[in-house]
C-alpha cells in the first residue's frame, strides 16, 4: 500500500470553499483524510507543499483525443498542465461507431494530422463492434488521465442512414430517425455523457477514402433541426448532456439550441455550447451570448452553458492550411488538395477572384481577415519573418491581398503565419470565464494540431483569476475548473474531499504569472512519424500530478516511467440518471 502525505499546502477541495493550510493523506487511490496536521506514518512519502496550492485535478471538457488515445494513451500533453480528466467525442465526431475509413475521414481534417499517419493509427485497428464494446476497449487502454466521452451525431447519422444519405438528405425518414434514437439510447445505457452535434459548416470531411465527399460539411451539419430536437428528447429522458457547435453564420442556430434546452413543462436539457464569443469581427456578440443564456434560464428554464476559452484565440497557418480558411467556399476543395493543385489554383485568375470575393464578404466571421494583424512566423525568405502581410505589401507598393495570394502560391505550407481571431480582450475574457452561464473550456486539445494549442487552459484561467480576484476569486476559479463541470456533466471527479479518488495537483501560484506562455512550441512525437504538432509548456508551475493516487508527473522527475504503459486513469461513465 502506497501512502503519500502532502503537507502544508493551501488546500482547495474543489467545492468553492476558501483555501486553508492543511495536510492531505493519500492511500489506496483515495484521499483518506485532510488534517490541520497529519500524523506521522512509517514508510509514507512526504511532499512539502509550503507556499503551493493543492487542488483537484482539472477537467478538460472539450478535447479531440479520440484518435490520439489509440497510440499515445498517456496523453502527456494534458497531464503536464494538471489535467486529470478529459472528455472526447465532441463536435459530432467520435471513434466509437463506424467503419475505420469513415473515422479517418471524420478526424483527418479536424485534427490536422497527416492522412497517412492517421490511417496507420486507425485503419484495420477497429476491434469494437458497438458502443458498449468501444467503452470496454477504452477500459483496456493504459490511459493517463481519466476519460469520458460523448457520442458523435455524425457517426450516428452515418450508421442509421448510410454514408450517401447522411450527406445528401437533410430530412431523415421515420425508419432512420428511429434507428438514430435507438443508437443514442444504446450509448446512454452504456454510460456516455450525451451526444455532440455540429451546426458549423466549417468542420469538413477529409475524403481520403471517399473523395466524392471531400470538403463537404460533416453529416451532423447536414441534418434538419427537427432531427436534432428528436434526439435531444432522448438525452432529456436520460438526463444527459447535449454538446453543440452552433453555426457562426446563422444566429438562429443559437435560438434552436435554446429551444432544445428549454425546460418549460418538461425537464431542461443540459446544453454546452462551443463558440468563439468575443469576436474581432463583432465585438458586441459576447453580450448577445450572455443575454441569450441569462434570458433562457430566467424565462425558459433552460440550462445552457457556453464554453469560455481562457486565452486569446491564437491561430497559426501553414500557407493556406488553417481552419480559418474553412469559412471560404473557394477554399473547400483547395484545403484538401495537393501542393501542386494549390499552386495552380492560386495562379488561376478565376480562383483568385473567387478568393477575393470570399475575403471581402461582409457577414459575421470568426476570421477577422486583417492583413495588418497577420504576422509571418516562418518562410524560406527569412526577411519576411516578424512582419505583417500588410506591412510587407506596403513596402512593395502592392495590394495586400494580392501579395498574400502570391506568397501562398510561391511557398505553400512553407509560409507560416499567425493571427488572433477572437478572445483578444482581457476584460471581456475574465467576464466570460466568471459568468454563471459559462464553463471554462473550448481547449480543443488534440484538434487542429498545427494551428493552435490550448492544453494549458486551466492554468491560464488561474493566472487571470490571480489578476482579477474581485471578478473571479481563486476558490471560485478552481471550482469552475473541477467540481462544476464534473457535477454538471455527471462525472465522478472534480473534488478532493476525504473519500474522493485522489486526482490531485500541487502547483506553484507564484509561477502562474511568469511561466505560462501564449505561444506554443513544435513537438515531434515518434507516433507522428516526423510530422509536427503544437503543444504548450508550463514548466515550474505544476509540481506534482496524482491520478487515482498514483503520481503521473512531477517537476523534478518528469512523467512516471510507466505512464502510457500502465493505466493511471480510468473510464468515467455518466452518473446522471
Residue 251 has pLDDT above 80, yes or no: no
Cell 432544445 sits at which residue?
260
**27: how many CB neighbours lie within 10 A of its CB?**
17
CA atoms within 13 A on the CB side of 186: 17
- Percent of the chain exceeding pLDDT 90 equals 92
477 in helix, strand or coil? helix
Confidence category of residue 1, pLDDT binned at 50, 70, 90: low
Minimal CA–CA distance to 466: which of 335, 310, 280, 241?
A: 310
Kindly state whether residues 508 and 440 are assigned to the same domain. yes
Grid cell, residue 551, equals 503520481
Residue 223, in any domain of the structure:
yes
Let me know: does 156 contact 180? Beta carbons within 8 Å: yes
Residue 426 maps to which CATH number?
Answer: 3.20.20.140
Residue 244 has pLDDT above 80, yes or no: yes
Kindly state whether residues 434 and 412 are assigned to the same domain. no
Kindly state whether residues 343 and 305 are assigned to the same domain. no
Residue 406, in any domain of the structure:
yes
Q: What is the mean pLDDT of residues 277-303?
A: 91
Kindly state whether residues 268 and 384 are assigned to the same domain. no
Domain endpoint, select from 420, 436, 471: 420
- 345 vs 325: CA distance, rounded Å: 15
Residue 193, in any domain of the structure:
yes
Q: What is the mean pLDDT of residues 21-36?
A: 97
Residue 5 has pLDDT above 70, yes or no: yes
Grid cell, residue 444, equals 480543443
List the end-to-end C-alpha distance of the chain, in Å, as a whole number. 34
What separation in angstroms does the CA of 446 have from each of 35, 56, 60, 101, 179? 38, 22, 11, 19, 30
Residue 26, in any domain of the structure:
no
Provide the domain limits for residue 392: 315-420
Let me know: does 469 contact 550? Beta carbons within 8 Å: no
**382: how many CB neighbours lie within 10 A of its CB?**
9
Kindly state whether residues 125 and 102 are assigned to the same domain. yes
Kindly state whether residues 287 and 325 are assigned to the same domain. no
Kindly state whether residues 290 and 319 are assigned to the same domain. no
Kindly state whether residues 86 and 231 are assigned to the same domain. yes
Residue 141, in any domain of the structure:
yes
Largest CA distance in the chain: 78
158-194 pLDDT tens trace: 999 999 999 999 999 999 999 999 999 999 999 999 9
Residue 40, in any domain of the structure:
no
Kindly state whether residues 328 and 440 are assigned to the same domain. no
- The per-residue pLDDT for 61 is 98
The per-residue pLDDT of the chain, averaged, comes to 96
Kindly state whether residues 278 and 344 are assigned to the same domain. no
β-pairing, 45-48 with 3-11? parallel
- The dihedrals phi and psi of 506, each to the nearest 5 degrees, come to -115, 125
Kindly state whether residues 178 and 202 are assigned to the same domain. yes
Residue 12, in any domain of the structure:
no
Residue 39, in any domain of the structure:
no
451-477 pLDDT tens trace: 999 999 999 999 999 999 999 999 999
Q: How many domains does the chain have?
A: 2
Cell 477529409 sits at which residue?
206
Minimal CA–CA distance to 556: which of 491, 506, 498?
A: 506
Let me know: does 27 contact 50? Beta carbons within 8 Å: no
Q: What is the mean pLDDT of residues 16-23?
A: 98
Kindly state whether residues 291 and 371 are assigned to the same domain. no
- The per-residue pLDDT for 545 is 98
Amino acid at each position: 500500500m502506497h501512502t503519500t502525505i502532502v503537507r502544508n499546502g493551501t488546500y482547495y477541495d474543489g467545492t468553492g470553499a476558501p483555501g486553508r493550510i492543511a495536510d492531505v493523506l493519500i492511500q489506496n487511490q483515495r484521499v483518506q483524510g485532510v488534517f490541520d496536521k497529519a500524523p506521522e506514518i512509517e514508510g509514507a512519502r512526504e511532499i512539502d507543499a509550503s507556499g503551493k496550492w493543492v487542488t483537484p485535478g482539472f477537467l478538460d471538457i472539450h478535447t479531440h483525443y479520440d484518435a490520439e488515445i489509440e497510440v499515445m494513451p498517456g496523453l502527456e500533453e494534458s497531464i503536464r498542465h494538471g489535467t486529470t480528466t478529459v472528455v472526447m467525442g465532441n463536435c459530432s465526431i467520435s471513434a466509437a461507431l463506424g467503419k475505420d475509413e469513415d473515422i479517418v475521414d471524420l478526424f483527418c481534417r479536424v485534427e490536422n494530422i497527416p492522412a497517412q499517419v492517421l490511417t496507420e493509427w486507425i485503419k484495420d485497428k477497429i476491434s469494437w463492434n458497438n458502443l458498449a464494446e468501444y467503452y470496454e476497449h477504452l477500459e483496456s487502454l493504459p490511459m493517463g488521465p481519466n476519460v469520458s466521452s460523448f457520442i458523435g451525431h455524425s457517426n450516428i447519422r452515418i450508421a442509421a442512414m448510410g454514408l450517401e444519405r447522411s450527406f445528401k438528405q437533410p430530412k431523415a425518414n421515420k425508419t432512420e430517425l428511429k434507428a438514430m434514437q435507438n443508437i443514442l439510447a444504446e450509448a446512454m445505457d452504456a454510460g456516455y455523457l450525451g451526444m455532440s452535434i455540429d451546426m458549423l459548416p466549417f468542420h469538413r470531411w477529409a475524403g481520403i477514402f471517399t473523395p466524392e465527399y471531400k470538403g463537404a460539411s460533416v453529416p451532423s451539419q447536414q441534418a434538419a433541426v427537427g432531427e436534432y430536437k428528436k434526439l435531444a428528447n432522448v438525452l432529456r429522458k436520460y438526463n444527459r448532456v447535449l454538446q453543440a457547435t452552433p453555426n457562426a453564420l446563422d444566429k438562429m442556430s443559437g435560438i434552436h439550441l435554446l429551444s432544445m434546452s428549454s425546460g418549460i413543462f418538461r425537464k431542461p436539457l443540459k446544453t454546452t455550447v462551443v463558440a468563439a464569443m468575443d469576436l474581432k469581427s463583432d465585438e458586441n456578440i459576447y453580450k448577445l451570448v450572455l443575454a441569450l443564456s441569462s434570458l433562457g434560464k430566467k424565462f425558459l428554464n433552460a440550462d445552457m452553458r457556453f464554453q469560455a476559452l481562457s486565452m486569446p484565440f491564437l491561430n497559426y497557418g501553414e500557407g493556406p492550411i488553417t481552419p480559418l480558411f474553412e469559412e471560404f467556399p473557394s477554399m473547400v476543395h483547395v484545403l484538401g488538395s495537393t501542393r501542386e493543385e494549390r499552386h495552380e489554383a492560386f495562379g488561376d485568375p478565376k480562383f483568385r477572384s473567387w478568393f477575393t470575393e470570399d475575403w471581402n464578404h461582409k457577414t459575421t466571421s470568426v476570421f477577422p481577415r486583417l492583413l495588418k494583424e497577420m504576422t509571418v512566423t516562418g518562410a524560406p525568405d527569412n526577411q519576411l519573418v516578424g512582419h505583417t502581410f500588410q506591412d510587407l505589401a506596403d513596402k512593395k507598393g502592392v495590394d495586400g491581398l494580392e501579395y498574400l495570394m502570391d506568397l501562398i502560391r510561391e511557398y505553400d505550407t512553407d509560409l507560416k503565419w499567425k493571427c488572433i481571431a477572437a478572445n483578444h480582450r482581457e476584460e471581456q475574457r475574465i467576464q466570460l470565464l466568471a459568468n454563471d452561464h459559462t464553463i471554462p473550456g473550448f481547449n480543443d486539445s488534440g484538434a487542429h494540431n498545427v494551428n493552435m494549442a490550448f492544453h494549458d487552459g486551466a492554468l491560464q484561467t488561474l493566472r487571470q483569476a490571480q489578476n482579477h480576484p474581485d471578478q473571479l476569486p481563486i476558490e471560485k476559479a478552481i471550482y469552475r475548473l473541477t467540481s462544476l463541470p464534473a457535477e454538471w456533466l455527471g462525472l465522478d471527479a472534480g473534488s478532493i474531499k476525504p473519500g474522493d479518488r485522489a486526482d490531485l495537483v500541487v502547483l506553484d501560484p507564484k509561477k502562474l504569472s511568469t511561466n505560462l506562455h501564449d505561444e506554443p512550441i513544435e513537438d515531434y512525437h515518434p507516433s507522428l512519424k516526423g510530422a509536427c504538432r503544437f503543444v504548450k509548456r508550463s514548466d515550474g508551475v505544476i509540481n506534482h500530478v496524482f491520478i487515482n493516487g498514483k503520481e503521473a508527473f512531477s517537476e523534478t522527475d518528469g512523467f512516471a516511467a510507466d505512464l502510457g504503459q500502465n493505466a493511471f486513469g480510468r473510464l468515467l461513465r455518466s452518473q446522471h440518471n
